[in-house]
Amino acid sequence: MRIDNIMFFLIIGGSILSVLIFIRKKDIKKAFFATLLAQTFTWPMGLLFTQLNRIAYPVRLFPKAVSSSFLNGYIMNPIIFAIYYTHFPINLNVIYRCLYTLFISMIPTLIELCENKYTNLIKYKSWHWYYTWLLILITYFILRKYLDWFFKNTSQKGVEKDET
């Protein structure tokens, strides 16, 4: 079995296992919505940078359908964001929240870096790992702010209380 196929299984298995381990039962709705929202950002960004010829995905899960990575943009990164969001340390001071964000955003960056170095799943053309890291940092910040606003407004209107 090629290293590319092993990496496919590791990403899928790791994503499923991460959801089962890190998403608490009380946070399932928030995690689901966070995953959907993250997919609306990560999937098109992957498509954009592929079309701009910055990144290439020589080996893909759906090679005839799309030129971007389905696993990274639609499964792994959104699930990591959902875990990040549901465990975000709201009550800690700003330094710990920043360190938490910096640490969590490095996880998909390191996975992508390993994919670039050891497999044919991703090849950087005019891209560097720190572009991914900065993009993830900015995306996580924007998505977290939106979700905080969204869940604050829905709880004020009683949506969460009516659903349970």
Q: For the segment 129-161, what is each residue's pLDDT rounded down to a tens digit?
A: 999 999 999 999 999 999 999 988 776 555 555
Residue 69 lies in a domain: yes
Residue 34 lies in a domain: yes
CB contact at 8 A, 37 and 147:
yes
Q: What is the pLDDT of residue 67?
A: 85
Collapsing DSSP states into helix, strand and coil, what is residue 142?
helix
DSSP state of 122: -
Amino acid letter at 61? Answer: L
To the question of pTM greater than 0.85 for the whole model, the response is yes
Total domains present in the chain? 1
Residue 153 lies in a domain: no
Tokens matching residue 161: 């209380």
Chain centroid, CA 138 distance in Å: 12
Q: By residue range, what is the domain housing residue 38?
A: 3-148
Q: Which residues pair with 123 in a beta bridge?
A: 56
Collapsing DSSP states into helix, strand and coil, what is residue 30?
helix
Residue 133 lies in a domain: yes
